[in-house]
Amino acid sequence: MAAFRELGLAPWLVEQARQMGLSRPTPVQASCIPPILQGESRDCLGCAKTGSGKTAAFVLPVLQVLSEDPYGIFCLVLTPTRELAYQIAEQFRVLGKPLGLKDCVVVGGLDMVAQALELSRKPHVVIATPGRLADHLRSSNTFSLKKLKFLVLDEADRLLEQGCADFTADLEVILEAVPARRQTLLFSATLTDTLNELKSLAMNRPFFWEAASEVRTVDELDQRYLLVPEAVKDAYLVHLIQTFQDEHEDWSIIIFTKTCKECQILNMMLRKFSFPSVALHSMMKQRQRFAALAKFKSSIFKILIATDVAARGLDIPTVQVVINHNTPGLPKIYIHRVGRTARAGRNGISITMVTQYDIHLVHAIEEEIKLKLQEYSVEEKLVLDILNHVNITRRECEIELEYMDFDEKKEINKRKQMILEGKDPDLEEKRKAELAKIKKKNNKFREKVQQTLQEKKQLQMKRKLQKKMERRNKLHAKEEK
């Protein structure tokens, strides 16, 4: 593998990388840095496994080009979560220190006025979540992205996905504000599904690089599943954590849950068992989210319980274990979740809890990652011993949470968010109800059509069969004559 300086990077940048512990480029860096350095006419799509150094693969060449002609705003990085935006900003800051790099993080949940002021001071690099940046573009004209040289989409497939947090409308606003002549860099561990959409964004002789590997997860990751009945999941979880705590001196675990409520309940429950845990989910205030992550990163708290808001990109080298409290519905989400451990060549283990209803999801995951998960065995008796205690504790937490009006708060938060987005919550609700009605009607209609088609098909088959029988009878009659 070539050294960093052979990739065309300046000595000061190579030295800066070395100081950060990056002495030799990883494959994604070695492959993507030279084409990015070729300049304006070359876009780049980099697809490499989790923890393989994709961030430096774009930060280093951007800094190199910036150092040759520094001005603001030179580069815009878009990323799906607020925590990830700060993590990327840190890499820019550390690697770009000799340049006196000015960066600006623009994410939701924080003061918009302060952000607008920072943007107006022309930072070299803006790292943003699409929603908040689009809000700034819609509401102010104190900054311009028209001279931008680089547009980076980190976790690009997530940004283009149309899921519960749909970025497409915001991306449209942003793409209108950036110049057509620019270099677009797209990175993720899971680019292939959305490749066509991504290519329409990166049209300048796109250089596409994908790590040559059949298996889509890293070799250093020991991937297990644990078959558990739904009703006793939490007893297994407590048992797993207790075992790690007893057997390891230095340990750190991320537990992924399906919903914010589940995340909150598990955190309350684990704390009642005196485990050092913190929660991270989208219903928390942004300051609480940052504080929780900081406590986990500094190992004050050894357990992070999170929703998929923490599934992508977060780089916390000390994480040795990922527990999936629910089996992810999409293989892609599984890949990103388990990728929070076994990063940059370290070992790690992931344990996915699988109930009787989730077997098909495991098969889909195995098919996608091209690897069979191995069973994780536990001593059932030890789990049975704590079962009652765990179930009673969980029930207590559920009752406590009801008193805290968690669901109501969720509803209020949703309405607040709509107001912030300039929507009328009541109108939106009406619209949603109407849409649901139409959907139901359409579904009924579709079912009816399908039923009619089925009946028609059956009738045709019946007729065919009848004709066949008639022909055969006639033949028999002829033969008998």
Neighbouring CB atoms inside 10 A of 89's CB total 22
Shortest Cβ contact with ligand ATP: which residue?
Answer: 53
Residue by residue, DSSP assigns 223-292 as EEEEE--GGGHHHHHHHHHHHHHHH-SS--EEEE-SSHHHHHHHHHHHHHTT--EEEE-TTS-HHHHHHH
Kindly state whether residue 7 participates in binding ligand ATP, applying the rule CB under 6 A. no
Count of residues of this chain found to bind ligand ATP when the rule CB under 6 A is applied = 21
Q: Is residue 264 a contact residue for ligand ATP (CB under 6 A)?
A: no
By CB under 6 A, is residue 189 in contact with ligand ATP? yes
What is the C-alpha to C-alpha distance for residues 274 and 458, in angstroms, rounded to an integer?
A: 63
- Could you say whether residue 329 binds ligand ATP (CB under 6 A)? no
Q: Does 239 bind ligand ATP (CB under 6 A)?
A: no
Q: Count CB atoms within 10 A of the CB of residue 37.
A: 16
The yes or no reply on residue 19 touching ligand ATP (CB under 6 A) is no
What does the alpha-carbon distance between residue 365 and residue 383 come to, in Å, rounded to a whole number? 27
Residue bearing tokens 């708290």: 301
Q: Does 25 bind ligand ATP (CB under 6 A)?
A: yes
- List the one residue from 16, 50, 326, 352 that touches ligand ATP (CB under 6 A): 50
| Minimum gap (Å) between residue 312 Cβ and ligand ATP | 6
291 binds ligand ATP (CB under 6 A): no
Asked if 37 touches ligand ATP (CB under 6 A), the answer is no
Closest approach of ligand ATP to the CB of residue 68, in Å: 23
343 in contact with ligand ATP (CB under 6 A): yes
Q: Write the DSSP string, 57-116.
A: HHHHHHHHHHHHS--SS-EEEE-S-HHHHHHHHHHHHHHTGGGT--EEEE-TTS-HHHHH
Look up residue 291 and give its amino acid. Answer: A
- State the Cα–Cα distance between residues 96 and 74, nearest whole angstrom: 13
When asked if residue 313 is in the footprint of ligand ATP (CB under 6 A), the reply is yes
Contact between 55 and ligand ATP per CB under 6 A = yes
The residue (of 22 and 126) whose beta carbon lies closer to ligand ATP is 22
The neighbouring-strand residues paired with 278 are 304
Contact between 54 and ligand ATP by CB under 6 A: the answer reads yes
**Judged by CB under 6 A, which stretch of 107-115, 298-306, 313-321, 404-412 contacts ligand ATP?**
313-321
- Burial (Cβ within 10 Å: 0-12, 13-18, ≥19) of residue 254: buried
User: Could you give the angle at which helices 11-19 and 54-68 cross, rounded to 10 degrees?
Assistant: 140
Residue closer to ligand ATP (CB basis): 92 or 236? 92
Tell me if 39 contacts ligand ATP by CB under 6 A. no
Name the site residues for ligand ATP (rule: CB under 6 A). Answer: 21-22, 24-26, 29, 48, 50-56, 189, 313, 315, 317, 339, 343-344
